[in-house]
Amino acid sequence: MQFTRVRARGEPPHRDPRVYADLGELVRLQFEAQGFSFLPRQPLHSVLHGRHASRLRGRGLNFEELRGYLPGDDIRNVDWRATARAGEPQVRVYTEERDRPVWLLVNQRQAMFFGSRERMKSVTAAEATALAAWRVLGAGDRVGAMVFDDSDIVTIRPQRSRNQVMRVLGAVVEKNHRLHAGNPGPADPAIINEALRRLLPLARHDCLVCVIGDGSGVDEETTRLITRLNAHNDCLFVMVYDPVEARLPRVGRLTASDGERRLAFNSSDRRLQEDFAADFQDRLDALRKLSRRQAIPLLPVSTAERVAGQVRRLLGHRVTASRA
């Protein structure tokens, strides 16, 4: 099988795919979106197994009919009022909804334009989005997204089609390609809260809400909004991080680049070391606290490895050493 590179509208040629998300690469990830799921029944080694599994509702249920009790029926489905009227046990029968809406909240803010290993955080988030979108479509569910940068939010309502996945990926690539080292500082770190506020009336119940980003902008308002969403939906955090964020190596002067511009700095500077570590720890602590409080699964995804392998490993798929 031969693949043709798919180029986003207006994309200049020869962008480094480690620095900028490539639409063709995101399309190819459909063939790696296997070996994991977001459904309640999880493998033993999945981070969604155990206490988190009880939080995953999966697809919603539709009332189908009321009928007489049969041996083996779940007693929890007995309708006691109908039983009293009929004079014999009556049970309510439900069928699982054919699909459910899945919302991907994707962070493509300037703070995501950082990476020291295989790829930028922004590219890692784009690949995680692609894997989730293709897997959701493969499971027969509807996929939608809110893709945001520092000043704007693109909303794509859930649908079930390949074209819909392409719309989601196209929006991610468009935001991603606006990032560069010369951009001004963050215009609105709390724009994630605006995205969550817009999502509340759209995700009323039985949705899966997957927040993909580095945890920047998370505050008490984020906690309040997530708590409201999590009351009637499944929520999931994918925290994208770079190993250097946790500990900046003391190797003297370094040069950072976006592929076009370069910035030199002293990595041994004590103040810089402390600021780097503190910023990362604050973001991690905020997400962990929210995760524990609401029993929301937290999936850490590093820029230093292939995203597909990490996702499969986190969600319980055993990978042999030769395939890792």
> What residues does each domain of the chain span?
23-51+98-314, 61-96
User: Is 35 a residue whose pLDDT tops 90?
Assistant: no
Rounded Cα–Cα distance for residues 128 and 141 (Å): 17
Mean pLDDT computed over 154-173 = 97
Lowest mean pLDDT, pick from 6-15, 113-122, 255-264: 6-15
d(CA 226, CA 192): 11
Query: Is 50 exceeded by the pLDDT of residue 323?
Result: no
- Asked if pLDDT for residue 273 goes beyond 60, the answer is yes
Average pLDDT, integer, range 184-198: 83
Beta strands across the sheet bearing 101-107? 153-159, 142-148, 101-107, 208-213, 234-241, 298-302
Residues 6+ apart with CB under 8 A from 198: 146, 153, 155
Cα angle for residues 59, 224, 156 (degrees, 5° grid) = 50
Considering the entire predicted model, what is its pTM? 0.76
pLDDT at 145: 98
Lowest mean pLDDT among 252-256, 273-277, 290-294: 252-256
CB neighbour list of residue 63: distance below 8 Å, 6 or more residues apart: 92, 93, 94
- The matching CATH number, chosen from 3.40.50.410, 3.90.79.10, 3.40.1350.10, 3.40.50.150, for 23-51+98-314 is 3.40.50.410
Answer whether residue 52 shows pLDDT above 70: no
67 pLDDT more than 70: yes
Average per-residue pLDDT for the chain: 82
